Every structure is written in structure tokens, then in C-alpha cells.
Amino acid sequence: MNIVEVDRLTKKYGDLTAVDQVSFSVHEGEIFGFLGPNGAGKTTTINVLTGLARPTSGTAKVSRFDCAVEIKKAQQIMGIVPDESNLYEEFDGFENLCFCAALYGMKKNEREKKAKDLLEQFGLAEAGKKPFRAYSRGMKRKLTIAAGIIHDPRILFLDEPTTGIDVASARQIRQMIQNLNRSGTTIFLTTHYIEEAERLCDRIAFIVGGKIVRVGPLDELMREVQQENVLQLAFAEGISNLKSSLQQEFPDVVVEVSGNQAIRLRSSRPLNLTPLMRFFEERNLPVYEARIMRPSLEEVFVKITGIELERMKQEKEGKGKQ
Amino acid sequence: MKSWIAFWNILLKDMRNYYLKPPNISWGLVFPVAWTLMFFLKSQTPVNVRELLPGVISLSILFGTTSVLAVTLTFERRSRSFERLLLAPLDLNFLMLAKTSGAILFGMVNAFVPVLFASLMTSLSGLQWIPMLGAIFLIAVTSTLLGLFIAVSVKEVFEAQTFSNFFRFPMIFLCGLFIPVQTLPLFLRPLSYILPLTYGADILKFSINQNGHLALSLNFVVLLGFATVLFALSIRNVKRKWIY
Ligand SMILES: Nc1ncnc2c1ncn2[C@@H]1O[C@H](COP(=O)(O)OP(=O)(O)OP(=O)(O)O)[C@@H](O)[C@H]1O
Ligand SMILES: [Mg+2]
């Protein structure tokens, strides 16, 4: 079932078209990634879906409610973590969480218990008594995420959750996203980190200049640039002398020796492993590792969007977001 | 029920974060105290204190509510924490009522500072408490909504201050607080009658000194009308400007 359905959505700010005829859907229970450079229209799309912005044309639906008409119903099931940590500076962590829970109508004992649990879970139990303004950037981000899930939303919108966060905290946040997804929450994630999308997402949309250039399951997108199958085999001893006999035995496979103890086999068709293994077994050569080499999502992105990834990254890092 | 939990917590949060914070308490109380001292100490006889009371009450409410609401709202917009409220599953009218209720209460508390001072200086016997409370409430509501209207029209905190002064100072002279409307030059009088404070002050004059010059029921109806129109206008602006 689709929990989000967006159909030819356009959002203009004056003359600027921030989102241009965008269509996609998010399946219930998946992690959906929205991947694109600065100014691509990621945040604008989230704003329309969550009710902070109105579409210029087209429709956006969450849980079958039209976001332009019945946004208040749709908001019941949404959790939203904005790109900036925007909790109340004067409140401490615990009070912030309790307040956010109250906005969704949770009762006092219920919200206090949940707030305590979440602080514990996010490693903020100590910091729970400090005012938000005294938090580090990573702590702010974690608390903002906790505030976004305190009412157990069915779908969580995360706008660049790991931008500007140190490696350890980012890893913790990704882990938490996965756990949350395993327990049934649909995740809508925007990011400009390709590795992050690759690690987390079931399906991905590439958005550039307000347009979705491609959307699909991760493996499908990968397959698109994967014109050939590459298999790498690792051995305990040198096998360079085997190259010619191997090539003779398997004429439609390109054999490359990579280092002394590994070979790469390239083929336009899927590789059949059984005869290969038999070949090595007959020669008494145990295969230690067999690995299918796949192109990275980065290659997919560059190929599909024609965008120089490095430039995009540099722009982003230079911006120094909160 | 769920919405009321949110309503109550928004009110409590605003109280704790703004209205009960020492700088804001003083900010809120400095005005009524200053007005009170300025006017009461100058007056010689106890009769004069009662004469001045309606005007001083009105001013205290006006200055308390307008500045406080406009400033807190622009502040929350700037820090983007206001987006949290817009993203919550709360009807926009209901949300704005929750945001304004704190300022309304604050204004009503401000109203009692001059009443307290006056009670120390003169007898307050024969006061008509019911219309007086009604007027205090409705002046607080209309002034708060004026503050809301200002908050929706500006971007920065200092603009909110400037813009509210633009409204407030003329009102001191135009609304019959200390200068009766009937003695104003003829061309200014229409201005008096398009300002809600004129009607609120008139009820206060009636309840404190039995000398209002408009019908009591008319005053109440007009004030309610102002409240409704200002609220509707503000909501329309919130929808147009804050949900981009
Ligand atoms: N409120 C607004 N008013 C005017 N223009 C806006 C507004 N919000 C966004 N834009 C413009 O719309 C375009 C898309 O912006 P958006 O914030 O959606 O991009 P993004 O993909 O989230 O980028 P980033 O990675 O920097 O967060 C940009 O050109 C931006 O300047
Ligand atoms: Mg963004």
C-alpha cells in the first residue's frame, strides 16, 4: 500500500519553480530516500507533504488525505524532523519531549514515560535536565529526532538527519532509523550523502533542479548502470599461471588477474558458479571468497544525473548547516 | 479532549517561557506601574484617582498585550519553533486561540495593577464589577488580537515594537482615556469610533464612575465584533504568510 502519493506536484515561489511536476509514491513500511544536491527541492517537497507549504498545482497525499485539503488529519500520523533543530531553547530535553507529545494529545503520565524512555534510548538521559540551548549540535539533532517520534508516527519525515553531525553520532542516528523502520515506521529521508542512501534506503528518487530524474528500488537503479556482471574470487596462493587455462575453459568470460591471489571475471550474462567452482576444485585450489562487484550508488547518480558529485558535496559542506 | 491537552500545554509553555520570565514580568508590569504612578501621583484628590482609573486600566492592558504577543510570536517564527505548532494536528483557529490566550490572561493581570494601587489611595465602593470584568476581558482580547495582527505583518522583533507603537500612542489620545471623545476636534472623532479601545474604555467609565456616554450593550456588541473581525483577519494572514 502507498502511504504517500505525489502526482505532478509543482511548487512555485514567484518566478522560481522549486518543485516541478514531481510524481512518486512511498510504500508503507519502506525507507524511501530523496537524494539530490542543494536547492533541488527536497525540503520544499517535504514542506508540501507536511503542511508547511501549499502546492501550486498537482496533488500530494499522505495516508489518502490530500495535503492541501485535509492536512490536519494527515498530520496525526506524521512525525517530522526538520533540517534545523528547532526545539525550545529555554526548555530542557525532558520538557521539550513532553511538550511535543502534548501537541499530539498524549496524556501526562504517558508522555513522561515515553520521554524518559527516549532520552535513555538516545543516550541523553544526563542531558535531559540541561536546557536545549546548552546542547551540542549532535545532541540537538538526536533530541529533535526523539521529539519527532514521541507520538509513534506511522511515517517519519527526516530532512538531512546526518548533515553536520560527527561520524559516531551519524552512525548512531542511522542505526536508530533502521531500528525504527524494523518496528514498522515508514521513513521518508532526504539526504545528499549517497553512501547513506545506499546503506539505508529500499527505494530512491534522484531529484535535481526540482525534477525527479529517476525513481526506483535501489537494486533496479543499480542494475541500470551495471552493464556487466563482475565476480571477484580470492585464493590462498598465487593463481596468475591459471589465467590462460581458465580463459580457455570459459571463452565468453573475460578473465583478469587482480593482484596475485585474486581474479576478476567479467561477463555480460549472469555467471554460472558451478562449473567455475568445479574448475578450481579439480586443481585443488580452495576459493576463500567470492564477491559480486557492484557499482556504487555514486556511479549511478553521476551516470543518471550527469552531475559532478564532488562539486555538490563541496557546496554542501561549505554551507555549514545547523 | 486531545486538542485541549495541546491547548493547555501551549498556554503553560508560553506562561513559563515568556510571561512569567523575570524580564517579561517587569516589562509587563513596568507599564502599569509607570502609568499608575504618573497619573495618580499628579492628581490631588481621591476623586481624581477614580476618574483616571478607566484610562490607566485600558493603557495597562493595551501595552501589556500588544508588545508581549507580537514579540513572542516573531521570536518563535525566527527560531522556527513556531513550525512545530503548525505541524501539529491542531486546527489553525484553535492553535491561534491557544497562542493568544496566554497574552489575554497576561493583559488581564496587568489591568489589576492600577486597580490595586487605586484601592490603596481611595475607596472603590460602588464599583460595578461584572461589566468591569467583561470590559477588561474584551479589551485584553482586542488588544491581543491587534498584537497578533501586527505579528503576522512583520518579520523582525524590532519591527513588531515599532509597528505596535504606531498604533498604541495615538490610541491614548483618541480613545477617550483621558480626553473625552466629545471634546476632540470633529475631524478626529470618526477615528475614535473605529478603535476598539474607545468602547472598552467607555464600559470602564460606566462601571467605575457611572459616566459612560454610549449604551452598555452597544459597547459589548461592538467589542465582540472587533474581536471576531481581527481574529478572522489574522488567521487569513497566518494562512497566507506563514504557510508559504
Ligand atoms: N520560502 C521560500 N521562498 C522562496 N524560495 C524558496 C523558499 N523555499 C525554498 N525556496 C527555493 O526553492 C528551491 C528549492 O529549495 P529547497 O529548500 O527545497 O531545496 P533542498 O533540496 O532542500 O536544498 P538543500 O539541500 O540546500 O536543503 C531553492 O532554489 C530555494 O531557494
Ligand atoms: Mg533542504
Q: Where are the domains of chain A?
A: 2-223, 227-293
CB–CB contact B243 A82 (8 Å): no
Say if A80 is an interface residue toward chain B (CB within 8 Å).
yes
Place of cell 512511498: A26
| Cell matching residue B26 | 517587569
- CA B165/CA B6 separation, integer angstroms: 32
* Summary mean pLDDT of chain A: 88
- CA A221/CA A6 separation, integer angstroms: 20
For residue A83, the ligand 1 atom closest to its alpha carbon is 27
- CA B66/CA A78 separation, integer angstroms: 34
Residues of B with CB under 8 A from a CB of A: 1-3, 5-6, 8-10, 13, 16-17, 79-81, 83-91, 243-244
Amino acid identity, position A142? K
Say if A53 is an interface residue toward chain B (CB within 8 Å).
yes
Q: Which residues contact A312 (CB under 8 A, 6 or more apart)?
A: A37, A38, A192
CA of A157: which chain B residue's CA is closest?
A: B87
Amino acid identity, position A274? T
**B54 CA → ligand 1 middle, Å:** 51
Q: Which of chain B's residues have a Cβ under 8 Å away from the Cβ of A88?
A: 13, 17, 81
Which tens digit of pLDDT belongs to each residue from B51-79?
888 888 898 898 888 878 877 888 888 88
pLDDT category at A320 given cuts 50, 70, 90 is very low
Q: Is the CB of A13 under 6 A from ligand 1?
A: yes
- DSSP-derived 3-state class of residue A9: strand
Which tens digit of pLDDT belongs to each residue from A71-127?
999 999 999 999 988 999 989 999 999 999 999 999 999 999 999 999 999 999 988
Q: Which pLDDT belongs to residue B244?
A: 76
- DSSP-derived 3-state class of residue A67: coil
Q: Which pLDDT belongs to residue A317?
A: 64
**B154 CA → ligand 1 middle, Å:** 22
For residue A46, the ligand 1 atom closest to its alpha carbon is 18
Which tens digit of pLDDT belongs to each residue from A185-223?
999 999 988 888 888 999 999 998 899 988 999 888 777
Residue nearest to atom 4 of ligand 1 (CA): A13
In degrees to the nearest 10, what's the CA dihedral of A125, A127, A131, A133?
A: -130
Q: Which of A13, A57, A45, A63 is nearest to A215 (CA)?
A: A45
Same fold flag, A2-223 and A227-293: no
Q: Which residues contact B222 (CB under 8 A, 6 or more apart)?
A: B196, B199
Q: Is the CB of A82 under 6 A from ligand 1?
A: no
Residues A201-230 as b/e (b if ≥16 CB within 10 A, e otherwise) read: bbbbbbbbbbebbbbeebeebbeebbeebb
CA of A11: which chain B residue's CA is closest?
A: B244
Cβ–Cβ < 8 Å for B155, B237: no
Cβ–Cβ < 8 Å for A147, A87: yes
Q: Which residues of chain B register pLDDT less than 70?
A: 23-29, 31-32, 35, 40, 42-47
Closest in B5, B81, B244 to A53, CB measured:
B244
Q: Which of chain A's residues have a Cβ under 8 Å away from the Cβ of B23?
A: none
Task: Give the count of Cβ contacts less than 8 A between chain A and B.
Answer: 68
Cα B187–chain centre separation: 26
- DSSP-derived 3-state class of residue B89: coil
**A18 CA → ligand 1 middle, Å:** 6
**A123 CA → ligand 1 middle, Å:** 33
**A152 CA → ligand 2 middle, Å:** 24
Backbone phi, psi, residue B177, to 5°: -70, -50
For residue A207, the ligand 1 atom closest to its alpha carbon is 21
Q: Which pLDDT belongs to residue A321?
A: 42
Task: State yes or no: pLDDT of A237 exceeds 70.
Answer: yes
Task: State yes or no: pLDDT of A69 exceeds 70.
Answer: yes
Q: How many CB atoms lie under 10 A from the CB of residue A295?
A: 18
For residue A45, the ligand 1 atom closest to its alpha carbon is 18
Cα B125–chain centre separation: 26
Residues B9-41 as b/e (b if ≥16 CB within 10 A, e otherwise) read: bbbebbeebbbeeeebeebbeebbbebbeebbe
Average pLDDT of span A268-297: 85
Structure ipTM: 0.86
Q: Which pLDDT belongs to residue B82?
A: 93
CATH, range A2-223? 3.40.50.300
| Cell matching residue B95 | 492553535
Flag the least confident range among A142-151, A286-295, B233-242.
A286-295
Average pLDDT of span A68-72: 93
Place of cell 576444485: A281
pLDDT category at A322 given cuts 50, 70, 90 is very low
Domain A227-293 in this protein, CATH class: alpha beta
Q: What is the DSSP letter of A261?
A: S
CB–CB contact B81 A106 (8 Å): no
Residue nearest to atom 2 of ligand 1 (CA): A13
| Domain coverage including residue B34 | 2-241
Average pLDDT of span A26-39: 93
Q: Is the CB of A44 under 6 A from ligand 1?
A: yes
Q: Which pLDDT belongs to residue B140?
A: 94
- CA A204/CA A220 separation, integer angstroms: 10
Cβ–Cβ < 8 Å for A6, A211: no
CB–CB contact B85 A107 (8 Å): no
Task: State yes or no: pLDDT of A319 exceeds 60.
Answer: no
Total domains in chain B come to: 1
Q: Is the CB of A288 under 6 A from ligand 1?
A: no
